[in-house]
Amino acid sequence: MTVTSIPGGSQGLSTSEDLRQQFAGALLEPGAPGYDEARRVANGRFVKRPALIARCTGTKDVQAALAYARANGLQVAVRCGSHSTAGFSSTDGGIVIDVGPMKASLVDASARTGRFGAGMTWADLDAATQEHGLAVTGGRVSDTGVTGLTLGSGSGWLERALGPTADSLLSAEVVTASGEVVRAGAGGDPELLWGLAGGGGNFGVVTELEFRLHPVGPIVFAGLILHPRSVGGELMRFYRDFMNQAPEEVGGGLALITAPPAPFVPEEVRLKLVCALIVVYTGDPADGPAALAPLLRWREPLVSMVQPMPYTALQKMLDEGNPFGIREYAKVDYLRELPDPAIDAMLDEAARVSSPMTTIVLCPGGGALSRRDPSAVSLVFPDVPWFYQCISAWPDVLQPDEPHIAWTRGFMEAMRPWALDEAPVNFIAVDEPESRLRRSFGEEKFARLTALKDRYDPANVFALNQNIPPSGHS
């Protein structure tokens, strides 16, 4: 199972000069050219100054950076796309192990599998797989890191057809806290693969992922429909009833947003509250119009842009509304049900939104999400009909954060009567009780994850995350 370990151990890399001699990538310290740009993360609320940013080009670079961190007692942050809404992508005074440069990809179209470097974003992976008409459930913003999303969430537009991303993870290469390189999955440790697929970054630095790929694209029938917020109650009820009966090839979500000042939006509703339907049909694009007909024909939309389009375009549909560096605070909950009072509560809270850049996405369950074996991976993704993502966003660093944070917390509280008290690790905010993480996994899964932590990271080197502490650590 062990492939290799770093020569000389942590004591052999105690100085930055020692590290430079064994490091092929870029090492950026405060004051170095490129340091300030490299330390930026997607969530602008977190402005940190790491002592060192190690931009790794391969597994040996990761081993060397970890050895240096251990020798100097540095806090370790692991970064791919830097989209951690909790700010785990960086650290003050520690080391950032940035796997972003590691973008190798190898797709076996006949076997429908692919191996991908840990630095891939979803735009990178989609570009590689769509050359062969293949895909895996990916994030809703294209510059999100593949590795972070896979380990701790796995939600995306294709989940009703394909399940969450983690369900398609076949194997992974991991550098452990001790510097060993191990294979998780077939030919290695299957229990580690089980833990990686939902347990977050608790067990090591993932350097490569292997996925089972699925026939999707390169053209899908998909797009966007806008309706005025005045019909929000009727539309949400109609959408609820439609999706409760929809085939699993129908994916997407209903978003409560402020209409952007974009050319495709009628001038009279720009910067006004609207409802946005994002729709996708993952089967034969020719069958899409019939499958989505009830949604396409409902009332008179403000905008209807649903047509055959590249899957890669669908994956970038929300990018403009989620610019890198925007300040964010998010809450996510699974909903046991979506009765009329829940819809009314959601609309009432959304009418008082604190920022025009905030997005509330109501996502449907069912399909492959209902058929999956929840014990096959550690990922918490319960069989529920709906869940929401409430992502508050605001641009101005001079604007106080607290009103937006308070509004988002209030939205979550308003939806609690219909919500489960569990979520994947990426969706659990740092200000939520630690007990929610344990409760989300359940005692049996949490015990298995703790055993993996004891085995691969007994000193809790990888603590900058939604942490599963080893035995004896609090």
Helix%, strand%, coil% for the chain, nearest 5: 35, 25, 45
Q: With bands split at pLDDT 50, 70 and 90, how would you rate the model's confidence at 6?
A: very low
pLDDT at 10 over 50: no
- Cβ atoms of 80 and 119 within 8 Å: the answer is yes
The strand pair at 52-55 and 95-98 is best described as parallel
- Average pLDDT on 178-195 reads 96
Up-side HSE of residue 471: CA atoms within 13 Å toward CB? 8
- Cβ atoms of 198 and 424 within 8 Å: the answer is yes
Report the length, in residues, of the chain. Answer: 474
Kindly give the interhelix angle for 190-199 and 434-456, rounded to the nearest 10 degrees.
150
pLDDT at 16 over 70: yes
* Cα(253)–Cα(277) distance, integer angstroms: 6
- Cβ atoms of 275 and 360 within 8 Å: the answer is no
Enumerate residues 6+ apart whose C-beta is below 8 A from 243.
250, 364, 366
Q: Which of these, 298, 255, 294, 260, lies nearest to 277 by C-alpha position?
A: 255
What local confidence, expressed as pLDDT, does residue 12 receive?
65
List of domains in the chain: 10-98 (3.30.43.10), 105-215+442-456 (3.30.465.10), 219-427 (3.40.462.20)
* Cα(355)–Cα(17) distance, integer angstroms: 47
Determine the residue type at 12. G
- Cβ atoms of 289 and 221 within 8 Å: the answer is yes
Residue range 76-106, pLDDT digits in tens: 999 999 999 889 999 999 999 999 999 999 9
pTM above 0.75, yes or no: yes
- Average pLDDT on 113-131 reads 98
Count Cβ atoms within 10 A of the Cβ of residue 347 and give its class: 0-12 exposed, 13-18 middle, 19 or more buried. middle
Q: Where are the beta strands (DSSP E) in 297-441?
A: 303-310, 327-335, 359-364, 386-394
pLDDT at 7 over 50: no
What local confidence, expressed as pLDDT, does residue 474 receive?
61
Q: Where are the beta strands (DSSP E) in 50-104?
A: 52-55, 76-79, 95-98
> Tokens standing for 111?
């076997």
- Cβ atoms of 127 and 206 within 8 Å: the answer is no
- Cβ atoms of 258 and 273 within 8 Å: the answer is yes
- Cβ atoms of 328 and 85 within 8 Å: the answer is yes
Q: Which of these, 335, 327, 319, lies nearest to 392 by C-alpha position?
A: 327
pLDDT at 5 over 60: no
Residue range 348-379, pLDDT digits in tens: 999 999 999 999 999 999 999 999 999 999 99
Residue range 400-431, pLDDT digits in tens: 999 999 999 999 999 999 999 888 999 898 89
pLDDT at 260 over 60: yes
